[in-house]
Structure 1
Amino acid sequence: MTGSTAAHRALEHLEMEEDAVAERGDAFEAFAERVRAVPAKTPASAGIQRATAATPVATAGVQRSTPEMSGDRCVTVREAFAETVRPHSTADLEDEESLAETIAAELTEDIAVALATETGWTPPLKRAVLAEIEDRQREVTALQETLQTERDTLEAAIDEIDEIVAWLQSTAEESLLQCDFETLRAKHERLATYRDRLEARTETRQAQFTGSTNRYGPGGTRYRTVVASLYSACSVRYPILSSATRLYGICGDCQETVRAHLTRRV
């Protein structure tokens, strides 16, 4: 049972999720750097764009090209998004999604529309994109903190499970018929202690499920929802509860066997 419980397999899945979240954070940071590098232009005023007697037509034509150049910068931003964030955003999707749909999902629909039209790469649009990137980065940080909490909880549970399983395996070959009363009583008490610890572990986990991922007050996502989503691809949705409950039953069966031998000694 050691190393092959639902809790052990969950740890492997958690590690993959941690890697995926870290890569998503790196992708948004790379996208942010490329967005900052694209200069934004304030649209030329009507007075500058309009040809006058004092402004040669040729010169006016050059100045009117500013929106077109700004539109090209929107293309640059879309390409940067496609090369950095999009692969991580669509990795788990079963159906294909257009670039505009992915931008809308990650940066809001308004930004997706602005980047796809001839509005141009203006300072307000650039600020809006960078603001949304910061929001996504904060979400990544919050998720990483939640995953670290889950790792701490999972590793503590695995340590306890391994300890109990190791003791059960070390005594598996012993003949209870050759154990004296005190030895049997010590085994019975130890099994009772293990069951108490597993029951406390289960209760603590259940209490954790009722909490929120928001450390700063009400709101956030229920921890149970996060765990269910995190292990949705696993055969067991709640691995700690599953492993603890299974082991609790094994200890109970062993305790009954020891108790039967104890009664014969009385």
Structure 2
Amino acid sequence: MTGSTALHGAPDCVDRELAAVATRDEAFGTFARRVRDLQATTPATGRGGATAATPVAMTTAGEASGASATTGGTGCVAVREAFAETVAPHSTADLADDEPLAETIAAELNEDVAVALTAETGWTPTLKRAVLEEIATRRREVDIVRETLETERETVVAAIDEIDEILTWLQSTAEESLLQCGFETLRAKHDRLERSRERLDELTARRQSQLTETTNRYGPGGTRYRTLVESVYSAQPARYPLLSTAARLYGVCGDCQRTVRTHLTRRV
């Protein structure tokens, strides 16, 4: 029956993921605005090296020659608070146990940034740029995931149309008595079933090929499309609803075709 297969629930699953991605992007956008609004302070010139809050890799030559960054400490606190109020709730929503904020920052940005912000000193222009660059990277990744999810939605909607066309025809002929069908009618049914199986074969092949692609539009090394699909449908009985539905319908068409063929041979 149309509308009752595992595939028919796929668009709703994708829509939920798209909503979650949009919320994540909005959270990073808000976080970025709050970070940009925080004025960074260049350490005063003096002896010493990089502050505890700013790892050497994040320190410019001018900043490395400075000493104190007492006013910068409040900046780091403000950044952590902004992160906790914007990004962290979405990052840890699926975790069973509470996660230290520093670990969440390290997971979402990077470990150097997390160390620098946790030390509570040295909200320098370099650290500010580093935070904003990491946010920009995460938002580019979100864009890629969004585009991939939109592609997935287009794929499953198109597949549903194809599946429904085959199911509708099967349902329209289900009540017919094959005993009352003539040879030409039976042959037409047999050919229609063969074409349906071929279409399902092609649909399966296209899907298998799509699953081997990556989500990285900038070159190799991205996430496998298959990985994203498994994540989207992880809570569903069928991890691959399109393939599962196509395979089941292929089997139904095959059974029907064998039945029709039996009746055909009796007419010869």
With normalisation by structure 1, the TM-score equals 0.89
Rg larger in 1 or in 2? 1
Task: Work out which of the residue numbers 260, 263, 267 in structure 2 matches 1:261.
Answer: 263
In 1, the alpha carbon distance for the partners of 2:240 and 2:84 equals: 35
In 1, the alpha carbon distance for the partners of 2:15 and 2:4 equals: 16
Secondary structure of the structure 2 residue equivalent to 1:248: helix
Shift of 1:230: 2.4
Are residue 8 (structure 1) and residue 16 (structure 2) matched? no
Shift of 1:149: 1.6
Shift of 1:19: 0.7
Task: Work out which of the residue numbers 120, 125, 135 in structure 1 matches 2:122.
Answer: 120
In 2, the alpha carbon distance for the partners of 1:221 and 1:103 equals: 22
| Backbone CA RMSD of aligned residues | 1.5
Q: 2:231 maps to what in 1?
A: 229
Q: Is the 8 A contact 2:70 2:121 kept in 1?
A: no
Between 187-196 and 202-211, report the one with greater CA deviation: 202-211
Query: How does 1:38-49 map onto structure 2 within 5 Å?
Result: 38-46=38-46
Are residue 162 (structure 1) and residue 164 (structure 2) matched? yes
Are residue 211 (structure 1) and residue 213 (structure 2) matched? yes
Letter in 2 for 1:217: G
The C-alpha deviation readout for 1:148-189, integer Å capped at 9, x for no partner, is 121121111111111111111111111212222111111111
Q: 1:245 maps to what in 2?
A: 247
Letter in 1 for 2:27: A
Shift of 1:251: 0.7
Identity of aligned residues (%): 67
Shift of 1:241: 0.8
Shift of 1:122: 0.9
The C-alpha deviation readout for 1:196-230, integer Å capped at 9, x for no partner, is 00011111111222222223432212222222222
What runs of 5+ residues in structure 1 fail to find an aligned partner?
48-65
Query: How does 1:1-266 map onto structure 2 within 5 Å?
Result: 1-46=1-46, 67-266=69-268
Q: Is the 8 A contact 2:215 2:223 kept in 1?
A: yes
The C-alpha deviation readout for 1:41-79, integer Å capped at 9, x for no partner, is 1122349xxxxxxxxxxxxxxxxxx83332112111111
Q: 1:50 maps to what in 2?
A: none
In 2, the alpha carbon distance for the partners of 1:260 and 1:95 equals: 61
In 1, the alpha carbon distance for the partners of 2:138 and 2:218 equals: 18
Q: Is the 8 A contact 1:10 1:234 kept in 2?
A: no
Letter in 1 for 2:44: A
Aligned residues: 248
Letter in 1 for 2:39: P
Q: Is the 8 A contact 2:74 2:120 kept in 1?
A: no
What runs of 5+ residues in structure 2 fail to find an aligned partner?
48-67
Between 69-78 and 188-197, report the one with greater CA deviation: 69-78
